Structure 1
Amino acid sequence: MTSLSLQFFTMGMMLLSGIGMGVIFDGYRVVSNELRFPRWTLPVLDMVYWLAAALLVFRVLYASNYGEVRAYVFIGLLFGVLSYYWLLSRPVIRIVKWVIEAVRALIRFTVRTFELLIVKPIILLYRLVRVLIGFGTALTIFLLKIVLQLVRPFWLLLRFLLGPLIRPLWRWLGPKLASLKFKERWDKLQSGVIKLWKRLF
């Protein structure tokens, strides 16, 4: 025979269990509505909720009076559920919605901060590097043209002076150089460099 104090203690624990079931159910309902779970998952989640609630109540009951089921157990559980929906349901729903909005705001803030501090600086750095490389390339080509224009008279003079020596040597080396296909290889290398340049920049 259980004592009266144990009965009241068990009833109080069942009352708290009923309140806890209400809190969890409202939280689950608000989260499923806010996150828009697929409809086919709702029966499964309902079953999971009721199984979890039954296990929780049984665990609390076992800790209170070693699992003895009496009428006051159901009275305490029912009174806890009704008290929750009468007094606490609306505040709990508002709190859960506020928590969801706070989490969403935190996620948005984190994503925005990541974009501002990481993504955009990388994009700006990439664009700056492209501009510098393009400017450096244009400047190099411009300077090379100037150098070639300055060197051209000396080259023409040197070619004129060395022409009698170069022509026989070229007639001898020409067929051998042609067999090595330097021009085809150079054109292929040049084409590959241009394609790589266009792909990167």
Structure 2
Amino acid sequence: MSLTTQFYTMLAMIAMGSIFGASLDTYNRFLQRGKRKRWIVFINDVMFWLIQGLAVFYILFLVNYGEIRFYIFVALVCGFAAYQALMKNIYLKLLEILISAVILIYQFIVKLFMSLIFNPIKWIVLAFVTLTITLGKVLLSLVKVIVQMLLWVIKIIFSPLKWIFALFWKLLPESIKKSVEKLSIRLAGFFKNIKNKFIYIWKYIFGIFYKK
């Protein structure tokens, strides 16, 4: 290994030592060990050290094709020590500023999304639902009025027929009257069941639209 390669290797390992120190502080800042379970911390620690080792070896491979010398470890320690002594406080302050900036940008984007997209869509949907329910109530009220008017018209139309039928009924023999009465009782029960079902369905529909 030439002196130039050794020099580049030393510089690269010193830089990697400093980067490792910054990575360790960043990792500890986001991990928050006191709030995590032990097995989660263990898995994260293993992954962190594995990634750092691979990164160091990759840089070493680029510089001197992966040749390991004793001074490489010394350079790593020197870089880490230089970071701890000279750059740690500055880096931590910059890291906090960066985190705060990212949080502010995220909050701004969320507020912008809520104001420009979510809230307008929400109010449009609410207005559509309210309009639909209102129209449904109006239509049901209109149908109710029409049905009542039709029943009133039918009642007026069939009133003369009722009188004619009553007169005709008086002229019928008693045996026929009894048969007709039995049939009418059965039909009355049948139509009563239909009426009850219709009333139940009607109340259910009204309950949907008039429910508070």
- Please tell me whether residue 186 in structure 1 is matched to residue 184 in structure 2: no
Q: Is the 8 A contact 1:7 1:72 kept in 2?
A: no
Once the 2 structures are TM-superposed, how far is the Cα of residue 183 of structure 1 from its aligned partner? Answer: 0.4
Larger mean Cα displacement after TM superposition, 94-103 or 133-142: 133-142
| Cα 1:100/1:144, change in 2 over 3 Å | same
Structure 2: runs of 5 or more not aligned: 170-180
Please say which structure displays the higher CA radius of gyration.
Answer: 2
Amino acid at match of 1:95: L
| Cα 1:110/1:178, change in 2 over 3 Å | farther
Q: State the distance in 2 between where 1:89 and 1:159 align.
A: 100
Once the 2 structures are TM-superposed, how far is the Cα of residue 191 of structure 1 from its aligned partner? Answer: 3.1
Q: Quote the residue 2:50 is aligned against.
A: 51
- Deviation digits for residues 111-136 of structure 1 (CA, Å, limit 9, x no counterpart): 32333334433443344345545654
Structure 1: runs of 5 or more not aligned: none
Query: What is the aligned-residue RMSD (CA, Å)?
Result: 3.8
The 4+ residue runs of structure 1 with deviation greater than 6 A are 171-174
Once the 2 structures are TM-superposed, how far is the Cα of residue 21 of structure 1 from its aligned partner? Answer: 0.7
Q: State the distance in 1 between where 2:51 and 2:156 align.
A: 98
**1:76-91, aligned counterparts within 5 Å?**
76-91=75-90
Q: Percent identity?
A: 23
1:67 is paired with a residue whose SS is coil
Q: Is the 8 A contact 1:30 1:96 kept in 2?
A: no
**1:37-186, aligned counterparts within 5 Å?**
37-40=35-38, 41-129=40-128, 131-133=130-132, 135-136=134-135, 137=137, 141=141, 158-165=157-164, 175-176=186-187, 178-180=189-191, 181-186=193-198
1:69 is paired with a residue whose SS is coil
Amino acid at match of 2:67: E
Q: Normalising by structure 2, report the TM-score.
A: 0.69
Q: State the distance in 2 between where 1:174 and 1:128 align.
A: 51
Once the 2 structures are TM-superposed, how far is the Cα of residue 12 of structure 1 from its aligned partner? Answer: 1.1
Once the 2 structures are TM-superposed, how far is the Cα of residue 196 of structure 1 from its aligned partner? Answer: 3.1
Q: State the distance in 2 between where 1:61 and 1:123 align.
A: 56
Once the 2 structures are TM-superposed, how far is the Cα of residue 156 of structure 1 from its aligned partner? Answer: 6.4
Once the 2 structures are TM-superposed, how far is the Cα of residue 147 of structure 1 from its aligned partner? Answer: 10
